[in-house]
A = this chain, B = another copy of it.
Amino acid sequence: MKAEIIAVGTELLLGQIVNTNARYLSQKLASLGIDVYYQTVVGDNAARLRKAIEIGRSRADLLVFTGGLGPTQDDLTKDVLADYLGRGLYIHASTMERIEQLFGSRGLHMVESNRRQANMIEGCDAIDNAAGLAVGNGLEADGMLYLLLPGPPKEMMPMIDGPGEAWLRSKLSEELPLYSRLLKFAGIGESNLEARLIDLIEAQTDPTIAPYAKEGEVAVRVSTKAGSLAEAQRKIDDVVDQIKTRIGEHLYAKEDIPLEEAVVKLLRASRRKLACAESCSGGLLAELVTNVPGSSGEFVGGVVTYTNEMKHLLLGIPMTQLEGEGAPGAISESTAALMAERVRQLADTDFGVSLTGVAGPSESEGKPVGLVYFAIAERGKKTLVHTTHLSGDRGMIRLRAVKATLYRLWQALREQ
């Protein structure tokens, strides 16, 4: 079954809001084994909406509409589809009662246009809207399925999760659901990952293997349609094993969690604590780690020593290490090591990590943009210092530097 999602709303075309509904509906449809081949956004305009319906019918079996079910003049979806199909509209009695009751109970005069939210296209099933007034419509006609849902996410989401899904399932006797597993990788770039999996990617039929980059990390989605969870897991496990043979050392999770969450979990499991000292990343590492709920058990905090003075004042690093003739400088292996060791001692934690480098856009200490040193200090062990050369703009360099540091910490924790 092929589906197209049609989001109706001029505010989308003006760029006033982001189309989160398309994403939610796509995930939901995929979980039901329905392939989404197109997503379209069209404005509150009858002629163009009609055209979109026409095109949709030529290339999909199911059209899912979101938006245009409200009471205002611009809300056209039911009217346009009914007209296109040559069908009438009638009022859904129980929805009308709810609307009247709502206005009555507030002592408000009901503006006539509110009635339109109770409209049903002849022959459709009502899709209940628990969080709003506009009733959804589910219609099967001439070999096509049409599902009309409201625009506001707080109404649309429970509707597709509940009565919407039930309606679709009742129409889809033969679809096999799509099962996916998401693998997360760190310490490897997207091109490199693809290159190392190229034989699997080129040969793929079922399951499918799809790599993509996401916020400084890379992911691979392995998907298959199967009759049962057990069968799907068997097929997926086989591919995952083949992927692990090639790049297993970079695989940090088999679910969609960020690298920092995997690090916090490992710290939690071994009852260790972490502190950090950041220079070029300016607080980003601390922010990402503290984004993980409950991380205060593992992460105590740290310092942002953005200037040489602060490295001296907060971490006790001698100015002669940082400035002057022959000094290694703030951006050096030895400074990275000192920062990690000092913050570990100060906070009395098991691990201390540090980052110092050149985020850009200008060079610093005569060193190039993208050069970053980071260190992992561990109680009772030798401090490990790493160097990397990163590309991208300032923000991307900072994010990649933090992810690189977290990857090395993850490796160190795994080896214990």
Residues of A within 8 A of B (CB): 10-20, 22-30, 35-43, 48, 51-52, 55, 59, 70-74, 102, 105-106, 111, 113-114, 130-132, 152, 154, 158, 180, 190-192, 194-195, 201-202, 210-214, 221, 275-276, 278, 281-287, 289-291, 293, 295-296, 299-307, 309-310, 313-314, 346-348, 361, 389, 391-396
Residues of B within 8 A of A180 (CB): 14
Closest B residue, CB atoms, query A279: B301
Give Cα A275–Cα B192 distance, bound, in whole angstroms: 40
Give Cα A314–Cα B278 distance, bound, in whole angstroms: 15
Check B195–A111 contact: CB distance below 8 A: yes
CB within 8 Å for A41 and B15 given contacts A293-B361, A302-B303: no
CB within 8 Å for A304 and B307 given contacts A16-B212, A389-B105: no
Q: How far is the CB of A59 from chain B (nearest CB, A)?
A: 7
Closest B residue, CB atoms, query A391: B102
Closest B residue, CB atoms, query A285: B283
Residues of B within 8 A of A37 (CB): 13, 42-43, 48
Name the contact of A23 in the complex, choosing from B17, B51, B296, B303 (C-beta under 8 A).
B17
Residues of B within 8 A of A39 (CB): 12-13, 19, 39-41
Residues of B within 8 A of A213 (CB): 152
CB within 8 Å for A300 and B306 given contacts A12-B26, A130-B393, A391-B102: yes
Residues of B within 8 A of A314 (CB): 301, 303, 314, 346-347
